[in-house]
Structure 1
């Protein structure tokens, strides 16, 4: 009996000790510590996350970085704490230096496939990083982005770690002019997407995707303006059905724009149904022209 009691007491002490150690080193905030140079990626080659603007005396460096799967532009989760800390430091710096902009250059390897709406996979990756930074409060007008090919970035277990280069420059008047030119060109020649009869979803052509990408880029870089998406139909169904169908088509395009980083509250959708035909509905060719969604920018 005595041995059994001693055994039970010993087991209880081990459980108590384990509970304490778990609390002390895992769950107790007072005992938690964070080494700013800790590595959250366990293995493989690493490219440090570096932000440096000597002109303003700003510098940040960390092992955590934005990672991507091979041939993809989506940021691979989870992001290390070093990334959010760096972006928050960048936000504070740029707020104090409104005349500076961050230039993000996304890199991609030869042989990677670009299935995005951007000219190259590097630009698509840089756009995703820009959207993340904007989501943490960095002003869109203080970020520009580019893409270029590089055969020096390394792939480990289908993952490319940190295929990005960051630099700083002054705000360029040409950038403002470029935005104004985009607005004028889109308003003069809105993007028109055609739909098959009764359909509200489509596969976009390369040209349509490219133009939608430019509109999305403008909306992300500009702090003003609204993207207006209007759905239209032919007259082969009832007016009520066509009104609803036109709105479904407009919302399809809105959902796409949201995936490109445009805030939902800056996209306005509406439906004109069958009320604004651009061709005669007496022929199939005319009806096909009337089944459309028109995307433009409104100041």
Structure 2
């Protein structure tokens, strides 16, 4: 072998050895690091999705009468958005069919009552007219059954705080409702007596809403929301009972204008209640204009008290 050939072979071997060493110490660690990072991201994503699936509460539509033949359980339900009080549409055909069977059962068994408990989370925002979103959701469910032919006398509604009831990734609460069947003793009139006393209390202490000029919204205090819930409960149980929104004004301006203004305020309050799940046919709106002042119209404070809507029952 000539010196020139040996020299060229030496260069070639150096290049080959250098390439192998570069791959081993530089390229391979980089690729392994990238692969490891990719695996970590994938594992994190999978874990996140799995956690979402674990925490989302999927409450089945379950109604059972321990003292009767009613026994339903389907893996579907009435659903609500987070901070929402209205049932999400469309309701599945399976739920609709089961609901019709439930309505028939209670119509055929007048001594049975259905207790509906709506669940809500403490982090939700309650913009309803009810003391809490659980009661608002139970009221929405009650209206759903009443629309299918069930008497509101056969339904009692409740709300329950439940921070263990988790929404899904879309913010939907799947079936935040629980149902219980109660068999009433025909000789027990305690429930009727309690409703009569509730009506007397509402009439003695109605809900009063004060209005500023051009007011465009209503915001209720917790105590006022409870009054709304009491009025709904009363009208559900008493035949012919209605909620009355009665508008009043101060004496500023013409009588005709004030009569119209008071009517508009009464209609405004009625619309607010209807939009919060109270049946329009259970609410009447009327005007007293400036006819029934409760304070001195000669002062600004007195006129402010006279600009009001009184919400009560008949």
TM-score norm. by structure 2 comes to 0.74
Q: 1:82 aligns with which of 94, 106, 131?
A: 94
- Alignment match, 1:216: 232
Q: Is residue 76 of structure 2 the alignment partner of residue 64 of structure 1?
A: yes
Distance 1:119 1:204 in 2: 9
Distance 1:202 1:149 in 2: 25
Query: Structure 1's 226 and 149: CA in aligned 2 closer, same or farther, altered over 3 A?
Result: closer
Query: Structure 1's 167 and 204: CA in aligned 2 closer, same or farther, altered over 3 A?
Result: closer
CA RMSD of aligned residues (A): 2.1
Distance 1:113 1:294 in 2: 26
Q: Is residue 289 of structure 2 the alignment partner of residue 276 of structure 1?
A: no
Q: Superposition pairs for residues 1-299 of structure 1, below 5 Å?
A: 46-157=58-169, 158-171=171-184, 173-197=189-213, 199=215, 201-298=217-314
- Alignment match, 2:44: none
Query: Residue 112 of structure 2 contacts residue 154 of structure 2 at CA under 8 Å; is this kept in 1?
Result: yes
Distance 2:288 2:220 in 1: 22
The Cα offsets for residues 268-294 of structure 1, whole Å up to 9 and x where unpaired, read as 221111122122211111111111111
- Alignment match, 2:20: none
Distance 1:116 1:201 in 2: 13
**Matched length:** 255
Deviation of 1:121 (Å): 2.5
Query: Residue 87 of structure 1 contacts residue 133 of structure 1 at CA under 8 Å; is this kept in 2?
Result: yes
Distance 2:211 2:163 in 1: 41
Query: Residue 106 of structure 1 contacts residue 125 of structure 1 at CA under 8 Å; is this kept in 2?
Result: yes
Query: Residue 246 of structure 1 contacts residue 273 of structure 1 at CA under 8 Å; is this kept in 2?
Result: yes
Query: Residue 107 of structure 1 contacts residue 163 of structure 1 at CA under 8 Å; is this kept in 2?
Result: yes
Deviation of 1:71 (Å): 2.7
- Alignment match, 1:21: none
TM-score norm. by structure 1 comes to 0.78
Distance 2:177 2:95 in 1: 13
Distance 1:272 1:137 in 2: 36
Deviation of 1:126 (Å): 1.4
Q: Which runs of 5+ in 1 are unaligned?
A: 1-43
Distance 2:136 2:284 in 1: 25
Query: Residue 195 of structure 1 contacts residue 201 of structure 1 at CA under 8 Å; is this kept in 2?
Result: no
Query: Structure 1's 149 and 286: CA in aligned 2 closer, same or farther, altered over 3 A?
Result: closer
Query: Which structure's CA Rg is the greater one?
Result: 2
Considering fraction of residues, name the structure with more helix: 2
Distance 2:163 2:243 in 1: 38
The Cα offsets for residues 158-202 of structure 1, whole Å up to 9 and x where unpaired, read as 111112211101236333223212210111222221112454754
Q: Which runs of 5+ in 2 are unaligned?
A: 1-55
